[in-house]
């Protein structure tokens, strides 16, 4: 930053509609805060872009000034890639419009939009596309890493529903990427993260969903977990695609439908979303109710938007988070035993281990059709370490790493890139597997000098 003159910064500011924040400015500290409180970085400039023109100016300024560059969408990424030290942050949070065309079933979404923003507009027309499970998540980062949630078994990964995108590349050009326009770039942004440019508009395909779905929670004591998970894996094989069931092991939160003596005790929770015909809902979820004798359950019809926000209270910003993740094709007994042993040593009331069920339509796409390759993953396992006090860092991180290592023999060896923490750069090749070589080629074409490197980085080929 010392090489930048105040004149050059003032000239840059005048070229923008948006605001530029520097360390001494009011609002700077709030603007650099991320969802994961473990990330504490201080950029030299935060550029709060108001449109594509601002993004192009910011990319050019960072490139020409030799500044490190980070891109902030929803700021939810566990690794904290939305922020950098001493560089320039392109903050897209003000660019959050969502325009829905119900006749063509298309949504045009700016990169600052959250899942809640998207769902609000799309559900006004009874439409949706597969997104995540926390409404405060940013659409941009979720999509660029692949994206999955309650509708993925029915309609595929988020990237399987991406029709086109406007991308500002490292040279400052604005390109439209689609199956027919810059198809190599379109292939790469569907799972390759923020390695190839800044997306300023996403175009998604929409599907008829809601406005109500049938779902909720079935909670069993931890002593029933092994038998319940054995039944779960049997039922999952034949489960209809409009039914998605995640399993979560943690201490029971004080949910009103649970007896007070269960609060704070280890439990296994089956979270259920059925988006098919309402008249079939009760029969579809009945097998889950037979996994064991429940401590409590809360099931019924509800707005899709409400279900998308159901887990927000457990995922509020400001806590310290550390994750470890595996992709799984099965849930063998050895893994279940290892899992229940780890729950015996939960290091904080907020820590949990979950199995996010995908499969279904996500497996119908060839591994090389998009940059996201992991089409054999039927479950995405996340060891979610979450706590409040810095003094607990070592204990909670150690717990997550220990279970990650113990569960590795049962995993596929691949990983969902959006669940990689900042210390897992060596696992990027595990995220992309057979697609890595092609991703490097696309990176070399569109970002040969690796301007976009504050991410789970795909480095360009060395200049020869």
Residues 171 and 249 both lie in one domain: no
Q: Mind listing the pLDDT tens digit for each residue in 214-243?
A: 999 999 999 999 999 999 999 999 999 999
Can you give the residue range of the structural domain that contains 134?
98-209+436-446
Q: Could you give the percent of the chain with pLDDT greater than 70?
A: 99
Residues 156 and 107 both lie in one domain: yes
Residues 249 and 379 both lie in one domain: yes
Residues 272 and 175 both lie in one domain: no
Residues 294 and 171 both lie in one domain: no
Of 43, 74, 91, which residue is a domain's last? Answer: 91
Residues 173 and 230 both lie in one domain: no
Q: Is residue 410 part of a domain?
A: yes
Q: Mind listing the pLDDT tens digit for each residue in 154-171?
A: 999 999 999 999 999 999
Residues 220 and 167 both lie in one domain: no
Q: Is residue 431 part of a domain?
A: no
Report the pLDDT averaged over residues 384-388: 97
Report the pLDDT averaged over residues 189-206: 98
CATH number of the CATH domain containing 441: 3.30.465.10
Residues 201 and 243 both lie in one domain: no
The domain tally of the chain equals 3
Residue 20 pLDDT class (50, 70, 90 cuts): very high
Q: Is residue 240 part of a domain?
A: yes
Residues 201 and 222 both lie in one domain: no
Report the pLDDT averaged over residues 357-373: 98
Report the pLDDT averaged over residues 96-110: 98
Q: Is residue 120 part of a domain?
A: yes
Of 51, 66, 91, which residue is a domain's last? Answer: 91
Residues 119 and 163 both lie in one domain: yes
Q: Could you give the percent of the chain with pLDDT greater than 90?
A: 98
Cβ–Cβ contacts within 10 Å for residue 311, how many? 15
Average pLDDT, the chain: 97
CATH number of the CATH domain containing 54: 3.30.43.10
Q: Is residue 464 part of a domain?
A: no
Give the whole-angstrom CA distance, residue 170 versus residue 63.
8
Three-class secondary structure assignment of the chain: CCCCCHHHHHHHHHCCCCEEECCCCCCHHHHCCCCCCCCCCCCCEEEECCCHHHHHHHHHHHHHHCCCEEEECCCCCCCCCCCCCCCEEEECCCCCCEEEECCCCEEEECCCCEHHHHHHHHHCCCEECCCCCCCCCEHHHHHHCCCCCCCHHHHCCHHHHEEEEEEECCCCCEEEEECCCCHHHHHHHCCCCCCCCEEEEEEEECEECCCEEEEEEEEEEHHHHHHHHHHHHHHHHCCCCCEEEEEEEEECCCCCCCCHHHCCCEEEEEEEEECCCHHHHHHHHHHHHCCCCCCEEEEEEEEHHHHHCCCHHHCCCCCEEEEEEEEECCCCHHHHHHHHHHHCCCCCCCCEEEEEECCHHHHCCCCCCCCCCCCCCCEEEEEEEEECCHHHHHHHHHHHHHHHHHHHHHCCCCCCHHHCCCCCHHHHHHHHHHHHHHHHHHHHHHCCCCCCCCCCCCCCCCCC
Query: Would you state the pLDDT for residue 2?
Result: 45
Residues 233 and 185 both lie in one domain: no
- Record the pTM: 0.96
Q: Mind listing the pLDDT tens digit for each residue in 243-281?
A: 999 999 999 999 999 999 999 999 999 999 999 999 999
pLDDT of 377 over the 60 cut: yes
Q: Is residue 454 part of a domain?
A: no
CATH number of the CATH domain containing 406: 3.40.462.20
Of 91, 113, 137, which residue is a domain's last? Answer: 91
Q: Mind listing the pLDDT tens digit for each residue in 29-74?
A: 999 999 999 999 999 999 999 999 999 999 999 999 999 999 999 9
Report the pLDDT averaged over residues 376-403: 98
Q: Is residue 425 part of a domain?
A: no
pLDDT of 3 over the 80 cut: no
Residue 464 pLDDT class (50, 70, 90 cuts): very low
Q: Mind listing the pLDDT tens digit for each residue in 403-429?
A: 999 999 999 999 999 999 999 999 999
Residues 414 and 290 both lie in one domain: yes
Q: Mind listing the pLDDT tens digit for each residue in 304-316?
A: 999 999 999 999 9
Residue 5 pLDDT class (50, 70, 90 cuts): confident
Residue 463 pLDDT class (50, 70, 90 cuts): low
Residue 338 pLDDT class (50, 70, 90 cuts): very high
Q: Is residue 428 part of a domain?
A: no
């Amino acid at each position: 930053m010392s090489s930048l003159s105040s004149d050059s910064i003032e000239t840059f500011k005048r070229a923008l509609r948006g605001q530029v924040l520097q360390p001494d400015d009011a609002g700077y500290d709030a603007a650099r805060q991320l969802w994961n409180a473990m990330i504490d970085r201080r950029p030299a400039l935060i550029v709060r872009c108001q449109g594509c023109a601002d993004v192009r100016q910011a990319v050019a300024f960072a490139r020409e000034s030799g500044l490190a560059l980070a891109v902030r969408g929803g700021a939810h990424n566990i690794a904290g890639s939305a922020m950098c030290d001493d560089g320039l942050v392109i903050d897209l949070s003000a660019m959050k419009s969502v325009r829905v065309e119900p006749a063509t079933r298309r949504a045009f979404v700016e990169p600052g939009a959250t899942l809640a923003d998207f769902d609000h507009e799309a559900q006004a027309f009874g439409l949706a596309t597969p997104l995540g499970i926390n409404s405060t998540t940013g659409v941009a980062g979720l999509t660029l890493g692949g994206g999955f949630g309650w509708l993925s078994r029915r309609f595929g990964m988020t990237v399987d529903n991406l029709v086109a995108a406007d991308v500002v590349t490292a040279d400052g050009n604005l390109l439209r990427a689609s199956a027919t326009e810059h198809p190599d770039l379109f292939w790469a942004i569907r799972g390759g993260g923020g390695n190839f440019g800044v997306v300023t508009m996403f175009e998604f395909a929409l599907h008829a969903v809601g406005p109500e779905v049938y779902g909720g929670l079935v909670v069993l004591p931890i002593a029933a977990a092994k038998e319940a998970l054995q039944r779960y894996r049997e039922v999952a094989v034949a489960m209809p695609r409009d039914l998605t069931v995640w399993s979560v092991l943690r201490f029971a939160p004080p949910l009103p439908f649970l007896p007070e003596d269960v609060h704070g005790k280890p439990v296994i929770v089956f979270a259920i979303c059925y988006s098919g015909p309402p008249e079939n809902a009760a029969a579809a979820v009945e097998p889950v109710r037979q996994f064991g004798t429940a401590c409590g359950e809360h099931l019924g019809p509800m707005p899709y938007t409400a279900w998308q926000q159901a887990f927000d209270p457990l995922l509020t910003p400001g806590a310290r988070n550390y994750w470890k993740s595996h992709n799984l094709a099965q849930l063998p007994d050895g893994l279940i035993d290892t899992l229940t042993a780890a729950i015996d040593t939960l290091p904080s009331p907020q820590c949990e281990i979950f199995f996010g069920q995908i499969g279904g339509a996500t497996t119908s796409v060839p591994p090389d059709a998009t940059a996201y390759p992991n089409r054999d993953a039927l479950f995405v396992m996340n060891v979610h370490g979450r706590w409040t006090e810095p003094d607990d860092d070592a204990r909670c991180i150690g717990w997550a790493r220990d279970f990650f290592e113990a569960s590795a023999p049962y995993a596929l060896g691949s990983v969902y890139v959006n669940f990689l923490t900042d210390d897992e750069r060596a696992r990027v090749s595990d995220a992309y597997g057979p697609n890595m070589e092609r991703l490097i080629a696309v990176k070399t074409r569109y970002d040969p000098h690796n301007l976009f490197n504050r991410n789970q980085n795909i480095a360009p080929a060395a200049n020869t």
